[in-house]
Chains A and B, each alone.
Chain A
Amino acid sequence: MKIIACIKQVPDSEAKVKAVPIGDGKAGQEITWGDAPLVINPFDEFAVEGALQQKEANGGTVTALCIGPESARDALKHALAMGADEAILISDPALNEIDSAGAARVLAAAVKKIGDADMVMFGRQTLDNGSGVTAAQTARVLGWPMLGLVGQIKVDAGSVRVERVIDEGRVTVSAKLPAVLSVVQSIGEARYPSFMGIRKASKANIPVWTLGDLGIEAPASVVSRAELMNPPVRETVVEIIAGDTPEAIAETLVEKILAEKVL
């Protein structure tokens, strides 16, 4: 069983991310996150976890795959430390402004170059762009079945049966392999990197593939960013409601809430 886990590197979820002008502001704005660390996208840890569980259940290998700059090596090392067998970084300056469909085309080309994959796993979405569409688009480019928002996976004789976790409940879906999956937290808590894993990851050789290595041109991006804005600053002064009894507090609080006319 050959499993590929697609991951991305993003600013840590505690990061104070904001839009700031580039230089004098004439060239627009850019995103900064101060000195917050870049980490493996937290949702993608479930993809790696799901891949490792399937490796343990069925044998085989797990390859972590990432599009990103050189710094994204650290995200791949996290996947290796969790237990992935190998990691590949796709890095090319032509991919800086890529949209999700473009990323899907690049990932599909990489999946084909790796060859013989049975399952390609993604997280639900990324913390940065957050579209959550790249998995389905990769499936579409490959022509493989898409099994989205999966919380349980069972492989049997060339087929996979999953439980898809949606608002309305759980839907059991099966498909022939190879298939693309997006994995959600019901799969189980993502394991922590082990001491041995961290040592192995620190010594790992992570090859870098360019678009030339993949044999494709840079995909044209149809979706592009026109402007960045910081959300309006919220009025955050809290008014603490006090009183002698819970009833007195409740009376004041309810009066205040009703006066806001939100009900």
Chain B
Amino acid sequence: MKTFVYIDHFKGEIQPASWEAIGLGKTLGSVSAVVFGSGVDAIAKAAFEHGADEVFVADDAALEDFRAEPYASTLSALASRSVQNPDLILFPITARTRELAAMSAVDLNTGVLTDITALDIVDGALVATRPIYEGKVLEKTVCSGKPVMATIRPRFFPKPAAEAGKTGTVTKVEVKADALTTVEGYSASESVVNLGDAGVIVSGGRGVSNNPSLQPPAGLDEKQAEIWRAHQGFALVGELANVLGGAVGASRAAVDGGYIPYSHQVGQTGKVVTPDLYIACGISGAIQHQVGMRNAKLIVAINKDADAPIFKLARYGVVGDLFQIVPAVTAEFKKKLGK
């Protein structure tokens, strides 16, 4: 099987799940990496080191910023039947690849299987497994068009070990510069967090502001004092995440409360995550939060309210005050992990 893997990056920062896509492609046959952008030699090099057999590169000032239209046109031209005719194109799922795969599928009269968590060959046909209804049900789905396009969820496919210095043939791709949009500016997130790729996530909810014994600085109104308290709570959550080499997540209540930026939100209107360990601190666990984290391998909940729904999902629970429990857990991990 001839597989293309689109290597997604933002300003040169590569999405790690791109390598998982290469890993998946290698189980099916040969893998050609596809790299678009401007000044992307380092990305092509990394693609070889992560297992690509060859790399197609479209390197052009017109592709400096991701714009769906020229990226899709360039990919569609490369992948068309009369040119490279791959059987499968894999993408790590991101805001960019969702649009790119969607448009290219229209161009090539084929379909895109999104957010897949498994890909098997059954009677010679590719069958993808993907969650639907927020993961309440799984479907196996097939695409009768060619190439089959699929976006993969992070952390479901093996990441190949990097092999330093491995190289191969780079083929230049003709660039289609049919942009319909202009990128005028960019401001980085207050805190960039890659929850999708995180192996450990420690999350905070409304409970992180619930420590009346903390005395906020004078002159804050009630809301400011609440946010000040929440920041103290999230500092504890952050220390625990730090010791475990993990990322900080949050419930919608914490984000809506102004405690932490939206980029940390786990759940229906935030990120769907599948870490090996998820520690929920002061999160009650509404269904909207559960759909974002219930496939974590191990779930631990720390909450004052013994009846909180989060305890129905958790393997281990502590009914108690997170302001006392979380620092003690951090200290204990430090001791046990020798940090």
Least CB distance from A128 to B in Å reads 6
Q: Do A223 and B336 touch across chains, with their CB atoms under 8 A apart?
A: no
| A-chain residues with CB within 8 Å of residue B94 when the two chains form the complex | 166-167
Q: Do A238 and B316 touch across chains, with their CB atoms under 8 A apart?
A: yes
Q: Do B262 and A168 touch across chains, with their CB atoms under 8 A apart?
A: no
A141 is an interface residue with CB less than 8 A from chain B:
yes
Q: Do A175 and B133 touch across chains, with their CB atoms under 8 A apart?
A: no
Tell which of A49-57, A62-70, A146-154 binds the partner: A146-154
B164 is an interface residue with CB less than 8 A from chain A:
no
How long is the Cα–Cα vector from A176 to B69 in the complex, in angstroms? 14
| B-chain residues with CB within 8 Å of residue A166 when the two chains form the complex | 10, 94-96
The one of A43, A100, A101, A240 in contact with B317, judged by C-beta atoms closer than 8 angstroms, is A240
Interface size of B as a range: 35 or more
A27 is an interface residue with CB less than 8 A from chain B:
no
Q: Do A223 and B141 touch across chains, with their CB atoms under 8 A apart?
A: yes
| A-chain residues with CB within 8 Å of residue B174 when the two chains form the complex | none
Q: Do A101 and B106 touch across chains, with their CB atoms under 8 A apart?
A: yes
| B-chain residues with CB within 8 Å of residue A149 when the two chains form the complex | 95
Given the interface pairs A14-B287, A241-B317, the reply to whether A132 lies near B200 with Cβ below 8 Å is no
Among A207-224, those with CB < 8 Å from B are: 221-224
Q: Do B184 and A224 touch across chains, with their CB atoms under 8 A apart?
A: no
A194 is an interface residue with CB less than 8 A from chain B:
no
How long is the Cα–Cα vector from A242 to B302 in the complex, in angstroms? 11
Q: Do B329 and A127 touch across chains, with their CB atoms under 8 A apart?
A: no
| A-chain residues with CB within 8 Å of residue B38 when the two chains form the complex | none
The one of B96, B101, B109, B182 in contact with A174, judged by C-beta atoms closer than 8 angstroms, is B182
| A-chain residues with CB within 8 Å of residue B111 when the two chains form the complex | 99-101, 221-223
How long is the Cα–Cα vector from A256 to B11 in the complex, in angstroms? 41
Tell which of B46-54, B112-120, B208-216, B226-234 binds the partner: B112-120
Q: Do A101 and B105 touch across chains, with their CB atoms under 8 A apart?
A: yes
Q: Do A263 and B200 touch across chains, with their CB atoms under 8 A apart?
A: yes
Q: Do A229 and B138 touch across chains, with their CB atoms under 8 A apart?
A: yes
Least CB distance from A184 to B in Å reads 8
How long is the Cα–Cα vector from A170 to B101 in the complex, in angstroms? 21
How long is the Cα–Cα vector from A71 to B150 in the complex, in angstroms? 32
Q: How would residues 138 to 171 of chain A score, 1 for a CB under 8 Å from any chain B CB and 0 otherwise?
A: 0111001111110000000000010011111111
The one of B145, B276, B291 in contact with A222, judged by C-beta atoms closer than 8 angstroms, is B145
How long is the Cα–Cα vector from A255 to B326 in the complex, in angstroms? 15
Q: What secondary structure prevails in chain A residues at the interface with B?
A: mixed
B188 is an interface residue with CB less than 8 A from chain A:
yes
A234 is an interface residue with CB less than 8 A from chain B:
yes
| B-chain residues with CB within 8 Å of residue A146 when the two chains form the complex | 68-69, 99, 103, 180-181
B64 is an interface residue with CB less than 8 A from chain A:
no
| A-chain residues with CB within 8 Å of residue B188 when the two chains form the complex | 168-169
How long is the Cα–Cα vector from A100 to B106 in the complex, in angstroms? 10
| B-chain residues with CB within 8 Å of residue A255 when the two chains form the complex | 336
Least CB distance from B244 to A in Å reads 7
| B-chain residues with CB within 8 Å of residue A100 when the two chains form the complex | 102, 111-112
Q: Do A185 and B329 touch across chains, with their CB atoms under 8 A apart?
A: no
The one of A129, A141, A253 in contact with B106, judged by C-beta atoms closer than 8 angstroms, is A141
How long is the Cα–Cα vector from A151 to B107 in the complex, in angstroms? 28
Q: Do B136 and A133 touch across chains, with their CB atoms under 8 A apart?
A: no
A19 is an interface residue with CB less than 8 A from chain B:
yes
| A-chain residues with CB within 8 Å of residue B102 when the two chains form the complex | 100, 133-137, 140
Q: Which 5 A-B pairs have the closest CB atoms?
A: A133-B102, A223-B111, A145-B180, A250-B328, A136-B102
Q: 9 additional contacts, CB 8 Å, given A31-B133, A171-B65, A253-B329?
A: A137-B106, A140-B106, A146-B103, A174-B181, A223-B142, A226-B141, A230-B138, A234-B294, A246-B325
